């Protein structure tokens, strides 16, 4: 892997990990369009750890409070009703679906799920779902001529049932093209949560899932084929860009619609379908990338 390839792939990882447009799809498509070889699971795992470090730093206050309160609740009954302690349990509960499905569907994830036709389908379908969820949220917030605005839920109203639903939405991202943030935010909006609450829980929920996945895949980094220099460089790029994207995205969603992402997803999915149908792009190009 060249330094230029590592820079571009790190940039793509950082730009797309937190936006509702699917980082796995973009890593695959970038490698396929450029005609590059598969960067490998170890490369992907390490660069994802870089973007998750950006989450840990950006949400460091929230995460510190949650971890501290959760540990205290294990030994002190008075802390068990604390919101941060409950959030700790809800992050654990919400992480169960992707852990179970990730292990159960491992062969499918590494095989049939990598077909670019499925990726294109998910880009379009999840884009439309995100668009509908965003429309409903906007309608609730603004109300109408004969309808009063609806008060949407915050994370203080999050319970085990909703936490599991969030978790199953996150697990859908095992299929390239779905998007971890896109699926969990859509699920949150459809359950009546605010954009900010859905996005915040989505980012917090991703931390254990991505770090666990990264640790599992890192065993491949010891096979002697990992280009450590370019890989570490890509991780640093992904971390810096990812942090900037989180900061921008959290401000963006407080006042803006998700429709630009919806339109982009649908158009990209249509383009991929067309390229595969015309034979310009193989449905299995760069099959392991991302």
Q: Looking at residues 111-115, what average pLDDT do you find?
A: 78
Q: Could you give the angle at which helices 23-34 and 3-16 cross, rounded to 10 degrees?
A: 150
pLDDT band at 213 (very low <50, low <70, confident <90, very high): confident
d(Cα 37, Cα 47) in Å, to the nearest integer? 17
- Could you report the per-residue pLDDT of 239-290, keeping only the tens digit for each? 999 999 999 999 998 878 899 999 999 999 999 999 999 988 887 765 544 3
Quick one: DSSP state of residue 114?
A: G
Burial class (CB in 10 A: 0-12, 13-18, 19+), 284: middle
- Could you report the per-residue pLDDT of 69-87, keeping only the tens digit for each? 999 999 998 898 899 999 9
| Percent with pLDDT over 90 in the chain | 59
Q: Indicate if the pLDDT at residue 65 is higher than 70.
A: yes
Whole-prediction pTM: 0.89
Q: Tell me which H or E stretch contains 262.
A: helix 259-277
Distances (CA, A) of 102 to 31, 164, 289: 24, 15, 17
């Amino acid at each position: 892997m060249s330094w230029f390839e590592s820079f571009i792939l790190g940039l793509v990882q950082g730009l797309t990990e937190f936006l509702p447009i699917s980082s796995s799809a973009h890593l695959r498509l970038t490698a396929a369009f450029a005609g590059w070889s598969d960067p490998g699971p170890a490369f992907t795992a390490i660069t994802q750890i870089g973007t998750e470090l950006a989450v840990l730093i950006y949400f460091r206050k929230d995460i510190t409070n949650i971890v501290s309160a959760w540990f205290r609740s294990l030994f002190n009954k008075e802390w068990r009703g604390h919101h941060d302690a409950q959030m700790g349990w809800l992050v654990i509960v919400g992480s169960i679906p992707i852990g179970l499905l990730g292990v159960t569907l491992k062969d499918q994830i590494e095989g049939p799920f990598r077909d670019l036709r499925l990726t294109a389908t998910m880009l379009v379908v999840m884009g439309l779902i995100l668009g509908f969820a965003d429309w409903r949220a906007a309608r609730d917030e603004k109300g109408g001529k004969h309808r009063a605005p609806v008060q949407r839920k915050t994370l203080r109203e999050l319970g085990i049932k909703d936490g599991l639903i969030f978790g199953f939405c996150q697990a859908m991202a095992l299929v390239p093209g779905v998007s971890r943030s896109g699926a969990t935010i859509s699920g949150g909006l459809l359950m009546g949560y605010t954009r900010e609450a859905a996005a915040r829980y989505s980012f917090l929920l991703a931390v254990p899932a991505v770090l666990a996945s990264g640790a599992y895949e890192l065993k491949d980094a010891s096979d002697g084929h990992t280009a450590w220099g370019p890989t570490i460089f890509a991780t640093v790029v992904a971390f810096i860009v990812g942090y900037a994207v989180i900061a921008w995205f959290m401000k963006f969603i407080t006042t803006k619609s998700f429709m630009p992402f919806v339109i982009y997803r649908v158009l990209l999915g249509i383009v991929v379908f067309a390229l595969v149908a015309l034979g310009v792009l193989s449905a299995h190009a760069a099959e392991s990338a991302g």
